[in-house]
Amino acid sequence: MKLRISVITCTLNSQPWLEESIRSVLRQTGPEAEYIFVDGGSTDGTLDMIKAIPRAIKLAEHVRGGISNAMNCGLKLATGDIVAYLHSDDFYLHDDVLNTVAQGFSASGCRWLFGRSMRAIDGQLLPENYQAPLYSRQQLLRGNFIPHPACFVERGLLCEAGGFDTSLRYAMDYDLWLKLSALAEPMQTSIPLAAFREHAGSLSSSNRIAAMREDLQVRLRHLSPNPLKRCLHLLRYGVRRQRALHLLARRT
C-alpha cells in the first residue's frame, strides 16, 4: 500500500525564508504529499506566496493561539497516513526525502521515524554540533535529540498522543516525542533529512535559558516519581544552565 504524507507548515510573516521551504516540498518525488499551511495572520506577502503555489494545497488563515495550536490545527486538516511538520524557515535537504521516509515506514512497520538535520546558517549548511545517541526512552529523558523537521509520525499515533500541548512555548516538540515514546518505538536513521535554519528570530536561539527551563519541566513531567532520578536530572540541568550562561556571557 502506498503511504500518503501530510506536510504541515505553520507561518506568520515568513516571507524571507518560505520560498526555499516550499521549493523543497514541491520537488519531492515518490509518495503523494498533501501540503497544508496554517497561518497566524501574516501581513508581509506570505499568503500571496502560499496562494501562488501551482498545486492543490490546504490553507487555514488567521489561526491564533501560538505555534502549538497552529500545529494541532494542521493535524485536524491532515488526511495522510504520515504527518510531517516543516516550519516555514526549514527545508528538506534533497528531493527523495519523503520517498526515503515512506520506504522506512513500509520496511520497518514503525509508527514514527526520525532522521538527522543540518544547520542552515547565513547561507551555509553545517552539520549538527553534537553526536546524537542511539535512541532509547531513557536517553530521550536525558535530553531532546530528535530534530523537529526530520521527524515523521503516523497520523493515528499523533492523535492518540493528544497532539501538542498548547500550554508550552518552547518544549512542545520534546513533550510530544516523550508522549510518543510511551506508545511506540520509533525507527531511527542517521540520514540527514532536513535543514533547521538558525537566525536571530529563532525561538531556540533567542530564548535559550527559558527553553532549557521548560525542557526541564517537561522532563520532570514524564519521569518516574523516583526521588533519586529526579535529583540527578535537576543536577544535570544545573550544570547545563551554567554552561549556557557562560557561553551567553562570552558572546555579549
Domain ranges of the chain: 5-204, 207-252
**3-class SS of residue 51:** helix
Select, from the ranges 83-97, 218-232, 238-252, the one with the highest average predicted confidence (pLDDT).
Answer: 83-97
Parallel/antiparallel/unpaired status of strands 124-126 and 82-85: unpaired
Q: What are the residues whose beta carbons fall under 8 Å from the beta carbon of 222, sequence distance 6 or more?
A: 141, 175, 178, 179, 182
pLDDT in tens, 172-211: 999 999 999 999 999 999 999 999 998 665 555 557 788 8
Dihedral-angle region of residue 167 (phi above 0 means left; psi in -120 to 50 means alpha; beta otherwise): alpha
First-to-last C-alpha distance (Å) of the chain: 55
DSSP-derived letter for residue 194 is E
Q: How far is CA 186 from the centre of its chain?
A: 15
CATH superfamily of 5-204: Spore Coat Polysaccharide Biosynthesis Protein SpsA; Chain A (3.90.550.10)
* Nine cell digits for residue 192: 540527514
Place of cell 515523521: 152
Judged by DSSP in three states, 4 sits in coil
Number of Cβ atoms within 10 Å of the Cβ of 20: 16
Rg (alpha carbons) of the chain, rounded to whole number:
18
Q: Which helix (H) or strand (E) holds 235?
A: helix 227-251
Number of C-beta neighbours around residue 241 at 10 A = 15
Residue 30's pLDDT band (boundaries 50, 70, 90)? Answer: confident
Closest among 238, 196, 182 to 92, alpha carbons compared: 196
Rounded CA gap, 165 and 69, in Å?
A: 8
Q: What is the mean pLDDT of residues 237-247?
A: 69
Average pLDDT value for the chain: 91
- Entry pTM: 0.90
